[in-house]
């Protein structure tokens, strides 16, 4: 019942404590063997624990193998002069190599960040779940350069900033969570993922890593070129520490699409397909629909488009009944439909229909721009993050 104290139970129940000790010993041995690259011992561990394949029940294991994680190729005019080359598994290293170029030419002072978007390639053993995991994908990464010693503070700041960015898209607080890493990569002194609730469960969407001076230090060591920053306030030179934020563009695209596309049951028992994509990301911001194809309504619709298109991507549709046109725009994620009818001829007003609420309100044509901008404009969205 309510009085149950799990922590106390775990730390006092003899059977549970015995299991926990066994589990800890196994995990420690596995970590030790992996660290030493003693793959034979990993295989022995599997055999000793009599681990069976969960699908076939078989214990007939192959030796434990190291997988190739990168794609190799050759660079060079002829076969004998060709050198080995590897496709990058992350975009980050280009930023590190160019760190001093950017800092000096941009006259940047620490702390500052460099962000870039680009292709990354990984020899994923299982590439699946649509575009969630691919061998060729697009990353959006930022390396934020800071003073050594300030990494804990900046790491926390970036964790919060990035979560705020995700939440600002309005896809539901309950669909995000942090996962702090216990086992850290060789370059990190702290790491966390922002996980998103995909249709197949909570999965990593973005990684935030405190990379210390590992990368700049290694480039210095192997290139023999200094990558130090002279801090005018401290009057000393140092290799900066780095906080990295790294998010897959394709994975983000999948998160938005998977979350937004819904079949919604309406009060009258029918269903509509609607792409509830955050308005700021919608490919088309508004559709202008003349109620009928005559009486001068199409002309007014085109005049409205000519004005709005300077700021927003807008579209025109005069095919089928207006209800069907609304549905088409709902499915394409268009946040607004503007309907021109006979009343427009008299008083210069139109109806503005909202994709998510399906509410319609009448307003003067001259107020359309402001009403749309308030919901789809970058400026209004960015203000939420400030
Ligand atoms: P995972 O645990 O899903 O394999 P990772 O920890 O290897 O990811 P990072 O190295 O932190 O990922 O890469 C940063 C981001 O790049 C990830 O959060 C993810 O959005 C994206 N990403 C990584 N690998 C892939 C892939 N194979 N296909 C698509 N996106 C990827």
33 Cβ inside 6 Å of ligand 1: no
DSSP letters spanning 240-288: PEEEEEEEEHHHHHHHHHHHHEEEEE-TTS-EEEEE---GGG-S--EEE
Please check the confidence at residue 165 and state whether its pLDDT lies above 90.
Answer: yes
Q: For residues 1-9, give the mean pLDDT.
A: 90
> Is the distance from the beta carbon of residue 248 to the nearest atom of ligand 1 less than 6 Å?
yes
What is the predicted pLDDT for the residue at 158? 98
HSE-up (13 A, CA, CB side) for residue 210:
21
Residue entry with tokens 């030179």: 237
Ligand 1 contacts CB of residue 139 (under 6 A): yes
CATH 3.40.50.720 corresponds to the domain 72-258 = no
Which token pair is 248? 């897959």
Give me the chain's average pLDDT, please.
95
Share of the chain above pLDDT 70, in %: 100
The whole-number pLDDT of residue 80 equals 86
124 lines ligand 1 (CB under 6 A): yes
Q: Which protein residue has the closest C-alpha to ligand 1 atom 11? A: 207
- Pocket probe for ligand 1: among 202, 251, 256, the residue whose CB has the most ligand atoms within 8 Å is 251
The structural domains of the chain, with segments of one domain joined by +, span 1-64, 72-258, 266-383
Report the topology of domain 266-383. Rossmann fold (3.40.50)
Q: Select from 118, 100, 111 the least CA-distant residue to 144.
A: 111
Extract the tokens encoding 178.
């942090």
How much distance in Å is there from the Cα of 248 to the middle of ligand 1?
A: 6
**Preceding amide of 111 cis, omega within 30:** yes
pLDDT for residue 332: 97
What average pLDDT does range 107-114 have in this prediction? 97
Q: Is 206 a pocket residue for ligand 1 (Cβ < 6 Å)?
A: yes
Mutate to test the pocket of ligand 1, among 207, 210, 254 (most ligand atoms within 8 A of CB): 207
How many A from CA of 24 to the centre of ligand 1? 28
Token representation of residue 274: 């609607």
Residue 183 scores a pLDDT above 80: no
Instruction: From residue 196, give the alpha-carbon distance in Å to each of 38, 117, 158, 207, 278.
Output: 35, 21, 17, 12, 16
pLDDT(184) > 80: no
CA of 185 to the centre of ligand 1 (A): 14
Q: What percent of the chain shows pLDDT beyond 90?
A: 90
Model confidence at 144: pLDDT above 80? yes
5: confidence class by pLDDT, cuts 50, 70, 90: very high
pLDDT at 79: 84
Kindly state if the Cβ of 246 falls inside 6 Å of ligand 1.
Answer: yes
Strands (E), 271-375: 271-275, 286-290, 314-316, 336-340, 349-354, 360-364
Q: Which whole number is the average pLDDT over 313-338?
A: 97
Report whether pLDDT(360) > 90.
Answer: yes
Distance between start and end Cα atoms, the chain = 44
Per-residue pLDDT, 145: 98
pTM of the model: 0.86
pLDDT, average across residues 134-148:
97
User: Which pLDDT score is estimated for 365?
Assistant: 98
Average pLDDT, integer, range 247-262: 97
List of residues 6+ apart from 120 with CB closer than 8 A: 88, 89, 90, 91, 136, 137, 138, 139
80: left (phi over 0), alpha (psi -120 to 50) or beta: alpha
């Amino acid at each position: 019942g309510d009085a149950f104290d799990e922590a106390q139970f775990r730390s006092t129940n003899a059977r549970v404590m015995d299991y926990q000790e066994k589990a800890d010993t196994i995990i420690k041995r596995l970590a030790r063997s992996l660290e030493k690259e003693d793959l034979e011992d990993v295989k022995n561990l599997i055999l000793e624990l009599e681990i069976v394949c969960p699908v076939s029940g078989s214990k007939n294991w192959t030796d434990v193998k190291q997988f190739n994680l990168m794609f190799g190729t050759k660079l060079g005019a002829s076969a004998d002069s060709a050198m080995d080359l590897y496709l990058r598994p992350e975009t980050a290293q280009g930023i590190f190599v160019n760190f001093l170029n950017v800092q000096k030419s941009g006259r940047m002072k620490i702390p500052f960040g460099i962000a870039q978007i680009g292709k990354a390639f990984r020899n994923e053993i299982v590439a699946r779940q649509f575009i969630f995991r691919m061998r060729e994908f697009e990353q959006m990464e930022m390396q934020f350069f800071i003073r050594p010693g300030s990494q804990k503070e900046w790491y926390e700041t970036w964790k919060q900033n990035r979560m705020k960015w995700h939440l600002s898209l309005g896809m539901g607080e309950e669909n995000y969570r942090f996962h702090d890493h216990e086992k850290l990569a060789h370059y990190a002194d702290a790491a966390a993922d922002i996980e998103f609730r995909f249709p197949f469960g909570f999965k990593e969407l973005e990684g935030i890593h405190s990379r210390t001076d590992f990368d700049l230090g290694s480039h210095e060591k192997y290139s023999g070129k200094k990558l130090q920053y002279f801090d005018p306030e401290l009057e000393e030179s140092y290799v900066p520490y780095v906080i990295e934020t790294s998010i897959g563009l394709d994975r983000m695209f999948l998160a938005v699409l998977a979350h937004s596309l819904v079949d919604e049951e309406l009060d009258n028992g029918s269903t509509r397909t609607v792409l509830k994509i955050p308005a700021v990301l919608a490919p088309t911001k508004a559709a202008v629909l003349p109620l009928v194809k005559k009486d001068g309504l199409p002309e007014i619709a085109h005049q409205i488009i000519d004005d709005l298109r300077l700021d927003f991507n807008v579209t025109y549709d005069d095919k089928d009944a207006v209800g069907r046109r609304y549905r088409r725009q709902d499915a394409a994620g268009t946040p607004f439909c503007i309907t021109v009818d006979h009343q427009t001829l008299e008083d210069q007003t139109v109806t503005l229909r909202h994709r998510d609420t399906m509410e319609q309100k009448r307003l003067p044509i001259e107020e359309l721009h402001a009403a749309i901008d308030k919901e789809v404009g970058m400026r209004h969205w960015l203000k939420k993050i400030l």
